[in-house]
Amino acid sequence: MSVLTFKSPGLHRLQNPDSPELFRENFPYTKVGRINFDGEFTIPHPADPMFITDTTFRDGQQARPPYTVRQIATLYDYLHKLGGHSGLIRQSEFFLYSKKDQRAVKACLAKDYDFPQVTGWIRANKNDLELVRQMGLKETGMLTSVSDYHIYLKLKKDRQKAMDDYLELVEKALEWGIVPRCHFEDVTRADIMGFCVPFAIRLMELAKGSGLPVKIRLCDTMGFGVPYPGAALPRSVARIVNAFTQDAGVPSEWLEWHGHNDFHKVLTNAATAWLYGCSGANGTLLGFGERTGNAPLEALVMEYISLTGDDNAAMTETISEIGEYFERELGYRIPDNYPFVGRDFNATSAGIHVDGLIKNEEIYNIFDTEKILKRSVPIIITDKSGRAGVAYWINQHLALAGDDRIDKRHPIVGRITRAIEQTYEKGRTTHFSNAEMKALVKRYLPELFPTDFDHLKDIAHKLSARIIARLSARNEIRQMRTDQVQGLLDGFLEEFPFVQYIYLINTNGHLVSHAICHKEDVEKYKTFDEHTDFSAREWFTVPTRTGKLHVTDFFKSQFTGKLCLTVATPVDDEESEIQGVLGADIRFEELLRRHEMIIPASDDEDGEEEIL
């Protein structure tokens, strides 16, 4: 249990100067900032417990295109899987302003995970706090800027007025039973002893009176914090943390460090905060954050394990899954050398060949990446790699397994190896990049790569499946009544004219209703009526047997001569019992011409993607 230890307010009175203290000896602005040392040293006293908090959906969204509700819910699942099961990743914070923000919060709350807890983030005003109460959140961060840069130059207040306004909002939050988390914005340019500590002491007094914690997040907004022993305030991370825990009496568990990477110190500063008594280290997935980013959450996980030896606190293989999700679903190209998730983060260009790698990979690998991250050790191709190295690269980078793996004795592997060696004979001195290797292998083994047509087929499958799945969820379809369905099918074809034929079939394989898109094709479909038996068709048998949507291979329509594919999905009732199958024959070429119309445009009220 956290114990509050108060210092006498007389020892740390608020200093309220007429003009701002900008610490020009540290921050001359027209020159690179200075790091001053005053000879005072702080003894490390590691926080107990240490934990991680997440701001992927708040600060992390300020550095990239916004996530959809579905993407937020999926990433929240990954956070829980990575470190939520143990409470290592304790909280995640969310914006609350838009309807989309609020749907995302509801989607994550509905998962009912113990960790990460869902918290809010607001500006320091009562209207924003009301949003927190309406959403039913138990805790929220609130912006309480503490440097004179913000108080005097941005807010146009003095310190006394700023503190009074902040305290008024904190009191209201406590009155409503909401745990306030005061974000001490720009703390590394603030007057620690003249404003931050007196403010923190007042917050601890409010906490004692209310019976609720009042938390503090130390925000190194500009990345000016430094981990060096003997560094002076306001830039010393250790001295800042010590001032809050020792001078202001803030319990370690109520304190968080939130850093930015402007000077490449974001991870080291977070770890320093842990080591000097700050329990919480705040970060984002892959370090996405405003400007230069925040502490990468996956790096904080590794740092935590290194410091504590608690291997069971995190499912580290989830880090690889998160990286794959960012590349596959979010379209983010992770740099090849990015730690833990980059394609080549554990590769070496030191001339290892596969035989040596097999003998002892520990020579060049930081740890057992296969066990810890489910990542095998890649190799860098040079003239020393040989046939074994080329075959290893092909199998690993193309994820070939079993009988599909390429043996080093394959004749084509010999030709590729020789082509590589010839480039070095002509004077090359650098290793082959993954892009170069991919192009070379594709030239000699094109059958291992998807064609442009394969890519188009994949687009067609995804787009057609999406629109049919949405249609099948309509109540008119689920009720399986001809009089209600016909108008809906006709309207659907008007909206999506690349669907040449759409049909609703009951569980006996007979037509309930159907519609034909093009008038010139109506006569051709007259052979289909309520007596036609479709029960043996692939598009009928697979959905009724598996309960899943099914997309057929391409075929040439016997009625129109067009290249088509069929998408069919089961139609169920409220008890999830299959009542029939909804199918559609889709013209491939016309679908591709219109595919830009069928994109995730926004999130509807249920958090689903809206189809334009």
Nearest to 496 by CA among 525, 517, 470, 521: 517
The arrangement of secondary structure in 51-314, i.e. its CATH architecture, is Alpha-Beta Barrel (3.20)
* Mean pLDDT value across residues 212-237: 98
Contact 389, 437 (CB under 8 A): no
Percent of the chain with pLDDT over 90: 72
| pLDDT tens per residue across span 385-440 | 888 889 988 998 888 989 899 999 999 999 999 999 999 999 998 888 888 999 99
Residue 231 confidence (pLDDT) above 50: yes
Residue 583 confidence (pLDDT) above 70: yes
The CATH homologous superfamily for domain 453-598 is PAS domain (3.30.450.20)
Tokens 């210092």 belong to which residue? 7
Tokens representing 262 are 């402007």
Tokens representing 566 are 């069929």
Choice among 3-7, 454-458, 507-511, 588-592 with the minimum mean pLDDT: 3-7
Question: Under the phi-then-psi rule, with left for phi > 0, alpha for psi from -120 to 50, and beta for the rest, what region is 320?
Answer: alpha
**Which helix (H) or strand (E) covers residue 127, if one does?**
helix 126-135
| pLDDT tens per residue across span 13-57 | 999 999 999 999 999 999 999 999 998 999 999 999 999 999 999
* Mean pLDDT value across residues 154-183: 98
Nearest to 199 by CA among 212, 179, 185: 185
At residue 26, the pLDDT reads: 97
pLDDT band at 604 (very low <50, low <70, confident <90, very high): very low
* Mean pLDDT value across residues 441-456: 83
**Which helix (H) or strand (E) covers residue 442, if one does?**
helix 434-444
pLDDT band at 167 (very low <50, low <70, confident <90, very high): very high
At residue 601, the pLDDT reads: 41
Residues 6 or more apart whose CB falls under 8 angstroms from that of 518 comprise 497, 500, 560
At residue 357, the pLDDT reads: 63
The segment(s) of the chain belonging to CATH 3.20.20.70 are 51-314
Q: Cα Rg for the chain, rounded, in angstroms?
A: 30
Residue 49: asked if its preceding bond is cis (omega within 30°), the reply is yes
At residue 157, the pLDDT reads: 97
Residue 597 confidence (pLDDT) above 60: no
At residue 435, the pLDDT reads: 86
The segment(s) of the chain belonging to CATH 3.30.450.20 are 453-598
| pLDDT tens per residue across span 494-522 | 988 989 999 999 999 999 999 999 889 99
At residue 465, the pLDDT reads: 80
At residue 484, the pLDDT reads: 85
pLDDT band at 605 (very low <50, low <70, confident <90, very high): very low
pLDDT band at 78 (very low <50, low <70, confident <90, very high): very high
* Mean pLDDT value across residues 437-449: 92
Residue 11 confidence (pLDDT) above 90: no
- Torsion angle in degrees (nearest 10) through CA of 118, 54, 251, 234: -140
Contact 443, 416 (CB under 8 A): no
